[in-house]
C-alpha cells in the first residue's frame, strides 16, 4: 500500500488572496481584553473572512456582548490558537467537536440549518473528460479536499468510499484550506479529483459557470452534520450562554439577522439536544 501523500496547493488567484489573510493572524496574549469567539468552517463556500468578521463584530457590539470574533482560514492556525488563547465560544466542524470536544470541555449549543436541513453532502468530482470508473481505478489518484482532521481516512471511508469498495488510504489526499480551493485544484489539473459541498458547487455555477462546466460528479457522501456553535463549559456562566445563544436565535433587527445569516450561508438555527 503506498504511503499517504499530503501536500498543500498554493493558489495565486487575486480574488481569494484578498480575503484569506483574516484567518491567519496571530493573537498574542493580552492584545484584546475581551474573550474570544473562534470561527473555523473550511466547508463554507464563501471565502470573505474580512466581511464575516465585520458583520459578526457589528452584531455582537450592537447587542453589547463583549466578545471578540476571530475567523480562521487554516486548521493549523486555528488549532494552535485554541491551545494558547483559550476562547470561550466556537463555531467549528462537527468532526472537530467529536475529536477534541471532550478535551476542550465544549458544550454544543446550536447547529445551523440550510434549506430545512441540519446536514449537508459533499460531491466527488473529476474532470469532464476523465474516466468515470470507480473502485480500484481510483487507487493512487490524487484528491483535493478540506481536512477532516487526524481521523480523515476513517471518516472518508465511512461517509463515502467504503460503499464503493475503495479505501482512503490508497488515495493521495491533498488537504486544502477552503472548499473552493479543492475545485480550483481540479480545474487547474493539479489533482485528479475534488470533494466539495453541493453548496460550493451551486455557488460557483453562478459565479464561474465555465469552471463548473469542466467537471462532473461521480459519487456523493452520506449526509454530514453541519458545524456546531459551542461554549466552553467551565469558561462561561449559564446566564451568559443563554444571552449569547439568544443573539443568534432572536436578532432584534430582521435586516441585521439576514446580514449575518447570509454571510454564514444559513437559514436558521437548531438547538443541540444534550446527550
Listed by start position, the domains of the chain span 14-117+227-271, 119-224
Q: Which helix (H) or strand (E) holds 195?
A: strand 193-197
Digitized pLDDT (tens) for each residue of the chain, 275 residues in all: 444 443 433 333 333 333 343 444 445 444 456 899 999 999 997 778 998 999 889 888 888 899 999 999 999 999 999 989 989 999 999 999 999 999 999 999 999 998 889 999 999 999 999 877 677 778 889 999 999 999 999 999 999 999 888 999 999 999 999 999 999 999 999 999 999 999 999 989 999 999 999 999 999 999 999 999 999 998 889 999 999 998 888 755 555 566 677 778 888 899 997 66
Dig out the grid coordinates for 6 from the structure: 499530503
How far is residue 150's CA from residue 37's CA, in Å, rounded to a whole number?
24
Q: Are strands 68-72 and 172-176 parallel, antiparallel or unpaired?
A: unpaired
Grid coordinates belonging to 95: 468532526
CA dist 8 and 174 (Å) reads 6
Contacts for 198 with CB less than 8 Å, ≥ 6 apart: 120, 121, 122, 123
Q: What is the DSSP letter of 157?
A: I
CATH architecture of 119-224: 3-Layer(aba) Sandwich (3.40)
CATH hierarchy code of domain 14-117+227-271: 3.40.190.10
**Share of residues in the chain with pLDDT > 70 (%):** 83
- Residue-wise pLDDT for 162-176, tens only, equals 988 899 999 999 999
Specify which residues 38 forms β-bridges with.
Answer: 70, 90
Residue 240: which residues within 8 A CB-CB, separation 6 or more? Answer: none
List, for residues 123-157, the tens digit of each pLDDT value: 999 999 987 767 777 888 999 999 999 999 999 99
CA distance 49 to 99: 25
pTM: predicted TM-score of the whole model, two decimal places: 0.86
29, 32, 33, 34 alpha-carbon torsion, rounded to 10°:
-110
Amino acid at each position: 500500500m503506498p504511503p499517504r501523500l499530503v501536500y498543500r496547493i498554493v493558489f495565486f488567484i487575486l480574488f481569494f488572496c484578498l480575503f484569506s489573510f483574516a484567518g491567519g493572524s496571530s493573537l498574542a496574549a493580552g492584545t484584546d481584553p475581551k474573550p474570544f469567539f473562534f470561527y473555523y468552517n473550511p466547508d463554507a463556500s464563501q471565502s470573505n473572512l474580512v466581511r464575516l468578521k465585520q458583520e459578526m463584530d457589528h452584531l455582537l457590539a450592537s447587542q453589547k456582548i463583549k466578545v471578540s470574533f476571530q475567523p480562521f482560514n487554516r486548521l493549523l492556525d486555528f488549532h494552535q490558537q485554541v491551545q494558547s488563547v483559550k476562547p470561550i465560544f466556537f463555531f467549528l466542524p462537527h468532526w472537530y467537536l467529536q475529536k477534541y470536544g471532550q478535551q476542550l470541555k465544549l458544550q454544543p449549543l446550536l447547529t445551523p440549518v440550510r434549506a430545512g436541513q441540519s446536514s449537508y453532502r459533499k460531491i466527488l468530482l473529476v474532470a469532464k473528460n476523465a474516466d468515470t470508473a470507480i473502485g480500484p481505478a481510483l487507487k493512487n489518484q490524487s484528491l483535493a479536499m478540506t481536512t477532516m482532521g487526524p481521523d480523515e481516512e476513517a471518516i472518508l471511508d465511512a461517509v463515502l468510499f467504503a460503499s464503493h469498495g475503495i479505501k482512503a488510504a490508497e488515495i493521495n489526499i491533498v488537504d486544502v484550506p477552503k472548499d473552493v480551493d479543492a475545485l480550483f485544484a481540479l480545474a487547474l489539473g493539479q489533482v485528479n479529483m475534488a470533494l466539495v459541498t453541493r453548496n460550493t458547487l451551486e455557488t460557483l455555477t453562478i459565479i464561474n459557470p465555465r469552471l463548473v462546466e469542466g467537471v462532473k460528479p461521480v459519487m456523493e457522501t452520506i449526509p454530514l452534520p453541519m458545524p456546531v456553535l459551542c461554549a466552553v463549559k467551565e469558561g462561561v456562566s449559564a446566564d451568559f450562554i443563554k444571552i449569547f445563544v439568544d443573539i443568534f436565535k432572536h436578532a432584534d433587527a430582521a435586516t441585521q439577522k439576514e446580514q449575518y445569516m447570509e454571510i454564514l450561508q444559513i437559514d436558521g438555527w437548531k438547538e443541540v439536544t444534550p446527550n
